Every structure is written in C-alpha cells, then in structure tokens.
Amino acid sequence: MKPFDDRFLIGAATAAHQVEGNNVHSDFWVMENIPGSMYKEPSLDAVDHYHRYKEDIKLLKDAGCNSYRFSIEWARIEPTKGNFNKNEIEHYREVLAFCHENNITPIVTLHHFSSPKWLITEGGWESEKTIEYFGKYCNYVVAELGELIPYICTINEANMGKQISKITKRMMSKNTDKGSHSNPDVQVGLNVDMKAKMEEYYRALGESFGIDPRNIQTFLSPRTEKGDLLIMKCHEKARQVIKRVNPDIKVGITFSLYDYQSLPGGESYVEKEQYEDFLHYLPFIQDDDFLGVQNYSRKIYGPDGEVKPENERLTKMGYEYYPEALAGVLRFVAKNWKKPIIITENGVSTDQDEERVEFIERALTGVHQCINEGINIIGYTYWSLLDNFEWQLGYDQTFGLIAVDRTTQIRYPKESLRVLGEIKKSGI
C-alpha cells in the first residue's frame, strides 16, 4: 500500500482540561472538587502539559508526525466575564509558535467541553446569551493568534449533549421497569445507584455556582432541542467572527459519530440515529471549510433495536473494539459532505499497547481505502497524545500514545507512537 500524501496530516489530539492541569476557573474544576462529586477523582495537575508542552510536542515530532490538535481553554482566557487574561493568550501564542518551529501543523479547538464557571452562572449552554459570549471569546483569540492558526474547530462534538440526552432517557426507562437494574453502559459517568450522593452533589453544585442546581447547564448536560440549536448558532457566530478577522483560517466543527450498521429489519433505527447524530446539522455547516469526524466504535441494529455482536471484543471503556468503524463512518459522511474531512479523534483505551498498534494500523488501512475511493480526507489525529484525565472516569483510562507517571510527570512514549509516525513516513 502506498504511503499517505506528503500533505496528509498525521498526529494526535488533546483537550486542555484533560492535560494541562489546574484549570481552576472552569466549570469542571468546580464539579470535580465539590462535596459528593460524581467524578472519580479531581484533575489537579493533570499531566502538566501546560508547562511540558514542548517536551510533548517534540516527542510527537521526533516520531515522524506532522500535526497536533489541541484546545485553547476559554476559562483561562476569560476567567471572569469580560476580562481577558493577556498572560494566558501569550502562553498559547508560545504553544502555537513551537508547533510551527517544529513543522507541526496546529489544529486548534476553541471549545472542548469545559467552560468558564461564570458562563454556567449566566445560564450556560441553554442560554441565548452564550452566543454573544462565545463570539466575543472567539474574536479575542483570533485577533490575537489568528496568524498562527491554519485550522480551527469551533466546538468539539457539538452533538454530544443530544447523545447524552438519549443515553439518559434509555437509562431512566430501563430503571423504571420491574426488576431492572442500573444501566451498565453509563460511560458519561451518571451515578444512578447513589441517589443520596446525587442529592448532596446537586445541592453542592447549586451552592458553588450560586444558582438553582436545576438550571446548571454545562456543555455535557443532557441537551434540549433549544440547546441543540443554540450550539449551532454559537458555531455560526464563531465562523462569522473568525472569517471577518482572518478569512484565511479554515473553519470547521467536530461531531461524535458511530458507525451505525443494520441487520435486516434494523434500517429504520439506523436512519433515525444517523439523522439525529449528523444529518440534521448539515444546514448549519454548509459554509464550513472542513468537517471534524470523531469515531471510536460501531452500533448494530436489528428489528428490535440495538444488537450486541457475538463474542464481542471490548475496549477498556467498555465498547466494542472495532477499528473498521472509522471507514464506515467516513463513507457515510462522504455521501452528504463533499468538502475536506479531518479525522479529529479516533483511538482506543487499553493497557496493552499491542492492541493500540493493531487498532491504529487497521483504522488507517480503512482511511487509506477511503482516500483511494475518492473521499476527501486530509488528516488523522489519534486520541490521544497522552494518557490523561478522562472526565468523570478520572485517570484509569489509557488512550495515550505516551504514558505518564503522574507522581514524577515523566513521559514514557509507547510503541504505538513510533508506529503512528512510521505510517506517516512509510505508509501502512
């Protein structure tokens, strides 16, 4: 098989809150540190990428990769409403400059799940005011740093709140059935077995944010139809601002997408999921320059709903190990999207790095096949560069190409990082 084109972007991705550490002005910092927190553990110093980004980017470059997707943290840039922190914008200027010095193409995400605490107090991701606030934040970042940013993802996994809403509804439905137990598939960290703890948690949340806990709307709260529309209005506002300040920047958004497959009789389920996860967002992204596709696994539907495959091989996260899902998603997306695609996340949590190597090789074989079929794919960033803070699940999950001893913060590059770089240089 031929190598990828020299212009093809291969690298890895991170999110600020998951790797930087001490994101003290964010909503997630509040939620991690309150009494009765639903988080397994707080992020604390994380993997100290804030101070060690040069070491981490250099490891990526030395392996042979040429791209790094990372996020700028809104809560650092605007820790209190309307007050922008010059020191923090300079920090990200240095990160971007270091990428360019090392011939690493930066792909910047402006919002990756975490938000300033003050935004949630102001109504969060169900408030129309957030459109204006997000626009001002984007304007400041692009006015300051735009000349260093070739690609911007405005919002990470814009459809995630709707996916969480569906999971929550299914979970609540099952828990009302006679003799049922809590849904084992609670990867969003919903602790349904501990009602007393949840009451303590929400009471503490209300006190910390200074509002009725029923009105707390973080980006990962179950989303209403109104909130879903608001997310896309935020994206449109950001794109408008970015193009006005610097029209050369390529602007896109990312979606969390499963490879939906149907057995005979399951077609209607698949069509419904594909519409809700992706197709109904198409009118809002027609003016985008590229699309960020994020995929980890598949879901199979039969005439009675979701079907689990026999002898299912599971990842550490608990979903099916199926690297071919990525190619399936790319083929589906390409039927409805003709502009460039960047695979902004794809990866596996496992303690066995040989499984990660296998996953990367199988996934990128599928990507190569899709390119040969004429699909306009311009990049792949593996999730993630480092073993990091996996939100409510804490530090147990291991997606990274680089292991980190969090006591010493010493980095230990894995074989999978070498393999990813070798694929960039020599092909599959």
Give the Å distances, CA to CA, from 257 to 149, 157, 225, 251, 345.
26, 9, 19, 19, 10
Omega prior to 173 cis, within 30 of 0: no
What residues form DSSP beta bridges with 24? none
Q: Report d(CA 385, CA 399) in Å as an integer.
A: 8
Long-range Cβ pairs for the range 134-137 (8 Å, 24+): 134/234, 134/237, 134/238, 135/234, 135/237, 135/238, 135/240, 135/241, 136/82, 137/74, 137/77, 137/78, 137/110
Q: Report d(CA 118, CA 127) in Å as an integer.
A: 13
Strands 259-262, 151-155: pairing kind = unpaired
Residue with tokens 């459109």, as numbered in its chain? 131
3-class SS shares of the chain: helix, strand, coil, % to 5: 45, 15, 40
Closest by Cα among 144, 111, 147, 102 to 130: 111
Does 324 participate in catalysis according to the annotation?
no
Catalytic residue chosen out of the listed positions 88, 126, 157, 273: 157
Helices (H) and strands (E) in the chain, counts: 14, 13
Q: From the CB of residue 24, how many other CB atoms can be counted at a distance below 10 Å?
A: 12
Read off the DSSP letter of residue 2. P
Residue 406, C-beta contacts closer than 8 angstroms, at least 6 positions apart = 45, 47, 395
Give alpha helix (H) positions in 43-191: 49-63, 74-77, 86-101, 117-121, 129-145, 160-175
377 SS3 class = strand
Q: Report d(CA 329, CA 296) in Å as an integer.
A: 10
Strands 298-302, 305-307: pairing kind = antiparallel
Catalytic residues: 157
